[in-house]
Amino acid sequence: MLGVRNISKVLGDFHLEDISFSVEKGTYFVLLGGSGSGKSVLLEILSGIIRPDSGHLTLEEKDITTAPIQKRRLAMVYQDQALLPHLTVFENIAYPLRCTKIPSSLISKKVGELAALVEVSALLKRKPLTLSGGEAQRVALARALASDPVCLLLDEPLSNVDTPLRYGLRRLLRRINASGQTIIHVTHDFEEALSLADELAVIENGRIVQQGTPEDVFSSPKSEFTAHFTGIRNFFRGKLTSGHINNDIKCFTIKSTTFSVATDAQDGEGYLIIPTESVIISEDKIENQAVNLLQGEVVDYFPTRAGIEIVVKAGDLLISGLMPKGTLWQRDELAGKKVWLYINSLPKRFIPL
């Protein structure tokens, strides 16, 4: 439905390089990346605000690379809503419809339908400055949908909304998508991406570094950037070799540290993921040949919903583990503490290159 082929753009020192992907009709496609990664630039190229230096864009098999904004049938929603402050909510939603010169009776009907869809029917007489962030974003979505776009473009639509309101807006976006609306959504929030995306592309320094379903990307990241960006702490590159009598247990070497890993993968270079919840931290040495045992020093710690995440320097590595809530250790005693890391060989995952 939407095709992006070898799109490149130079803006000062920033380079958007050879971007290619396709979005099928009805798909919720998320571009995930940090600040300055190029995701908003790419969205503005799709919308027609910025012209690419090279490459091609197609929409429903028609080339739109140089088509003017009003001819693209793409609607954009920004993080700051960009509502017209002197118009009421009704007039803001109706604005795209009035540009098409359709009868007023049909405009009122369409505005009513869209207001009901995004749950702002009670706000139609209000001005934008009297709305909350969540209400304003719902109005912005209704206004964008009023133009009957083939594809809805969302630029960080939830970033300026308070956390409790985001869940309701996510439900709304899923409902809009379930009605058949194709959506391309850019965000820096991997939880947001996971909750919404059918298809996900990770963008870093102007390049797409990984693409697939959210489950594929988050369970099998292909780079340290993707792993850390999606919340995986212990992600290491090294070499897998056969080194045990038991063929199911192999050696994974990272610099000067070797782990015992349960895997049937072929020997070679790759990545190892050690879930933080599989790292047991103890003051006492635990003797057990079935596990990996490392000694280190606590260099950082911070509370999480699940407990206290502890960062330990063990040799050449920084390894994160999780201390459950209710631990007897005092947080102000953690920094510099000597500890042992007890890591079972079974829950770790090896991703070959």
pLDDT for the residue 328: 57
Percent pLDDT > 90 in the chain is: 61
Higher pLDDT, 224 or 300: 300
What pLDDT is stored for residue 304 in this prediction?
81
Q: What is the pLDDT of residue 290?
A: 64
What does the pLDDT average to over 93-112?
90
Of 151-155, 234-238, 275-279, 312-316, the poorest mean pLDDT is in 275-279
Q: What is the mean pLDDT of residues 52-70?
A: 94
Where do the CATH 3.40.50.300 domains begin and end in the chain?
A: 2-225
Mean pLDDT of 208-237: 87
pLDDT over threshold 70, residue 329: no
pLDDT at 265: 85
* Per-residue confidence band for 187, with pLDDT thresholds at 50, 70 and 90: very high
Average per-residue pLDDT for the chain:
89
> pLDDT value at position 82?
81
Residue 346, pLDDT above cutoff 80: no
- Res 246: pLDDT: 65
- The pLDDT of residue 209 is above 70: yes
Residue 88 reports pLDDT greater than 90: yes
pLDDT value at position 327?
64
* 185, pLDDT greater than 80: yes
Listed in order, the ranges of the chain carrying CATH 2.40.50.100 are: 235-352
Percent of the chain with pLDDT over 70: 95
* pLDDT score for 302: 84
Per-residue pLDDT band for 306 (boundaries 50, 70, 90) equals: confident
Give the model confidence (pLDDT) of 245-291 as tens digits.
566 788 999 988 999 888 888 899 999 999 888 898 888 887 776 67
Phi/psi for 135 (5° steps) reads -65, -45
pLDDT in tens, 133-166: 899 999 999 999 999 999 999 999 988 788 778 8
The CATH code belonging to domain 235-352 is 2.40.50.100
What is the pLDDT averaged over residues 199-220? 92
State the architecture of 2-225 in CATH terms. Answer: 3-Layer(aba) Sandwich (3.40)
Interhelix angle for 133-146 vs 89-99, to 10°?
20
